[in-house]
Amino acid sequence: MVWARRFWLRLQTLFRRNRNSQRLDAEIQFHLDQQIEENIAAGMSREEACYAAMRAFGNRTVLKKETRDTWGWIWLEQVGDDIRYAFRQLSKTPGFTATAVLTLALGIGANAAIFTLVNAVLMKNLPVADPKSLVRIGDNNYCCVSQEALEDYTIFSTEIYERLKKNAPEFEDLAAMQAGFEWRPVIARRDGTRESARSVMGEFVSGNYFRTLGLRPQAGRLFSDEDDRSGAPMAAVMSYETWKNSYGRDESVIGSTFWIDTKAVIIVGIAPAGFYGDRLSSTPPEFYLPIETMPVLAKVPYVHDANVLWLYMIGRVKPGVQMGGAASKGERAGQAVAGGD
């Protein structure tokens, strides 16, 4: 089950705190070194470059705490402490404990049916246009917006995606997004402000991602194919929740520059309210970024490696085309491309 696998991953993170802390320190130092080198290249002395980089980067202690909160360490530790404290207190008053357990049992039983209805009506579907015509490539049983669709999907290389998109007439659009249970952490800070850099979740998607899902921007614009080509100006779409909670729906955010992993990126628009990405998660993405920016921002070498499988694909089926047939044909075509047929 999805929640069990995610809980297991978070437990692994909890028990590997030292190693993850070292990895976080190394990641922060890497970004600082990159900024220092850029400052030196711009004509600063090393001392000036270090000072400017530290000032731009923000408080490292605060950043590390926010990153740990995002990864879930603090939450798990606090839950463990609260449970141990609760058991100690309850063991001292057995009568009160029996009453509390009985009350909780009755409350849970009464609310189980209500939760089942709410889960079926509200949580199964994400706010996309005509979800019945959407399908993930690699599975015939679930639409892209179902909760079960989080597991066991086929993943593809960028080359397979690009070639399949040109040779899949069954689909009005075929989009791609990075695979995985969670999105990729990026370090973001708005330019020209005193706000500190912070670790947030970012999702790398194809230029037609929002168009395939049938979404309209809350403000500004969403990605186009032009944003997802090599050499295009680096752009990002901000989630509505981040725009509302962190910037008070400030219209000036649109068109402003953010430093994301030490690179200047323009915020071109705001994702629609109620959209939390293409899969259910406790930490939805705050920024959406074109796939072609990933080699520059994330410094990963595999984006265009034909041997590396790292993308999910989602398609919108044309009217009159059978959903299951389109999904299975798309998967077979992808396998044929991978095999060089």
Q: How far apart are the C-alpha atoms of 175 and 280, rounded to whole Å?
A: 18
Which of the 8 DSSP states describes residue 39? H
Across 47-61, 99-113, 217-231, 323-337, the highest mean pLDDT is recorded for 217-231
Say what the pLDDT of residue 241 is: 94
Tokens of 313: 């694909």
Instruction: From residue 310, give the alpha-carbon distance in Å to each of 166, 178, 301.
Output: 19, 6, 12
Candidates 293, 125, 267; CA nearest to 203 is 293
Q: How far apart are the C-alpha atoms of 341 and 334, rounded to whole Å?
A: 10
Cβ distance 145 to 215 under 8 Å? no
For residues 314-332, give the mean pLDDT. 68
Q: How many C-alpha atoms does 290 have within 13 Å on its Cβ side?
A: 24
Q: How far apart are the C-alpha atoms of 209 and 223, rounded to whole Å?
A: 8
Secondary structure class of 235 (helix, strand, coil): strand
The least confident of 66-70, 117-121, 185-189, 294-298 is 117-121
Q: Which residue has the tokens 């959903």?
A: 323
pTM over 0.75: no
For the segment 114-173, what is each residue's pLDDT rounded down to a tens digit? 444 444 344 445 678 888 888 888 654 334 433 343 344 578 889 989 988 888 788 899
Secondary structure class of 96 (helix, strand, coil): helix
Say what the pLDDT of residue 120 is: 39
The full length of the chain comes to 341
Q: How far apart are the C-alpha atoms of 76 and 185, rounded to whole Å?
A: 19
pLDDT surpasses 70 at 310: yes
Q: Where are the domains of the chain?
A: 2-78, 131-315
Average pLDDT over all residues of the chain: 78
For the segment 4-55, what is each residue's pLDDT rounded down to a tens digit? 655 665 666 666 666 667 777 777 787 788 888 888 888 888 888 888 888 7
Of residues 104 and 266, more confidence is placed in: 266
Interior/surface letters 151-160, b for 16+ CB within 10 angstroms, e for the rest: eebbbbbbeb
Instruction: From residue 123, give the alpha-carbon distance in Å to each of 203, 209, 217.
Output: 21, 21, 22
For the segment 254-281, what is each residue's pLDDT rounded down to a tens digit? 999 999 999 999 999 999 998 888 876 6
Tokens of 255: 């068109």
